[in-house]
Amino acid sequence: MSNLINGVDFDRVTAEAITAARGIVRNDWPRLQACVEMLGRGMANDARFLKRQLEAGALDHAAARTFLEDRKIVARLQLRALAIITLQLAEDILDAMTAVFTSAINRMLGWDLL
């Protein structure tokens, strides 16, 4: 199944986000890899969901931003609970991943949501 949304390849975006996170983690990558990959797939699914909800009129711009902010909170909790890492490392990983996804989501929408 292709993960292409409005010309943005979210399989590639996910891979780029995982690579960005790997650059942060370095030594602990084998221990954190599965969790980071799960988060990347979740972020791609969130992008698809967000696009559908915006097109359907179920979300406005403010609600879409709130949705993504809330998803980041959930991702932080998952990362800390599953990988048992410090809050700072969780933030650094998520910041690296969300930077990649922010750009992709804005390209997907054709305007700056984030």
Mean pLDDT of the chain: 91
Phi, psi of 10 (to 5 degrees): -75, -15
Q: What is the pTM of this model?
A: 0.88
The larger pLDDT score, comparing residue 111 to residue 36, is at: 36
* Dist. CA 47–CA 18, nearest whole Å: 16
Q: Which tens digit of pLDDT belongs to each residue from 89-110?
A: 999 999 999 999 999 999 998 8
- Domain boundaries defined on the chain: 8-109
- Outline where 1-114 has alpha helix (H): 10-25, 29-56, 61-83, 87-109
Taking 60 as the threshold, does the pLDDT of residue 1 lie above it?
Answer: no
* Dist. CA 21–CA 114, nearest whole Å: 20
Kindly state the average pLDDT of the residues 37-59. 94
